[in-house]
Amino acid sequence: MIKRTILSIFAVLFVFSGSFAQDDGKFRRGGGMMVFTGYEPMKEHPVNLYYYIPTQGNIKKMRVLISMHGAERSGRIQRGVWRNLAEEYGFIVLAPEFKHDNGYLENGYQFGWVSEDPKIFRLRPREVWTYQLIEAVFDYFKEKTGNVSETYDMFGHSAGGQFVHRYLLAMPEARVGRAVAANPGNYTYPDERGLFTPSGEPADPPGWPYSVKDTPFASDDYLAPFFKRDLVILIGTEDTEPVSPDMAENNPNRIQGRHRYERAWKFFNASRDIALKKGLEFNWTILEVPGAGHNSGQMVYGQGSVRNWRIENDERVYNLKDVTGRGAYSLIFER
């Protein structure tokens, strides 16, 4: 891949030292933020849309990455993780931010507001799923900039990794190219039977959001395109904080694994086995980042030791010299 010239470095420094773009609904080069209310069914639940557009190159032809934050609920952090890479290699980052104050609690973010209740599955109308906002943001960006991309790529860390893999399950029509779900805390198993303890006791709850049991997503109409996706489950080898010893045996998190590292492998293997049994195409991959813990920068750059290049307004920006072939950047843009 062709590197940018030294002029781009000065351009980046200029952008970093300047203020962010005004929230007037327009996209400008560099870093910016706007409040997105452009999807009518969810207009009362606005989303802060952070973005980064390289200072050089043809915006209309750049690839688009949508990066989903973790439980810290910071689009600024996701933009910071990617912005040096975006500037150097010429792609656009859109980082929506789903705040608790706007109604996006765990059920509204990680679980996509698919159900009225996270413990008792009551299907909401499809047009008011949180997932619908991603497609709307992509269309809004294309409309305002003239970008001609037909697909977008996705990355999500932690709670964002939960969002990404459930998004691919629930939205078979979504225009996603490549997707990386990094270090999710839990998963939705594509098993219509639900989750059970080793002794055979049902999980509490046994179904959504921890499995597809008794949901529309148990159908092959959803599972076939889900398994067919270009999805990487990316897990840090040091993301091994154990579940609490006080956690009930039938808690879905405990059933899925002792820690995130184990849960990733159990979910991937179970999903592959289900796809094989059903005779469905399975295109997922699972990969490890050696030495990485529960950290977005480590997962994007592909190693457990990354250095902050600088910090501005609480936004960490990483050193390009730390990028490896094992992180989300390489998996999305160099494969």
Report the alpha-carbon distance of residue 237 to residue 240 in Å, rounded.
7
Domain ranges of the chain: 6-333
Number of C-beta neighbours around residue 292 at 10 A: 27
pLDDT 10s per residue in the chain (335 long)? 444 433 333 333 333 333 344 567 899 999 999 999 999 999 999 999 999 999 999 999 999 999 999 999 999 999 999 999 999 999 999 999 999 999 999 999 999 999 999 989 999 999 999 999 999 999 999 999 999 999 999 999 999 999 999 999 999 999 999 999 999 999 999 999 999 999 999 999 999 999 999 999 999 999 999 999 999 999 999 999 999 999 999 999 999 999 999 999 999 999 999 999 999 999 999 999 999 999 999 999 999 988 766 676 667 788 899 999 999 999 999 98
List pLDDT tens digits, range 98-112: 999 999 999 999 999
User: Which whole-number Å values give the CA distances from 300 to 81, 132, 156, in the listed order?
Assistant: 7, 25, 10
List pLDDT tens digits, range 151-196: 999 999 999 999 999 999 999 999 999 999 999 999 999 999 999 9
* Residues contacting 247, CB < 8 A, separation 6+: 253, 254
CB 120 within 8 A of CB 93: no
User: Which whole-number Å values give the CA distances from 273 to 214, 267, 281, 303, in the listed order?
Assistant: 20, 10, 11, 30
Question: Residue 334 gets which letter from DSSP?
Answer: -
∠ CA 86-89-90, nearest 5°, is: 65
CATH of domain 6-333: 3.40.50.1820
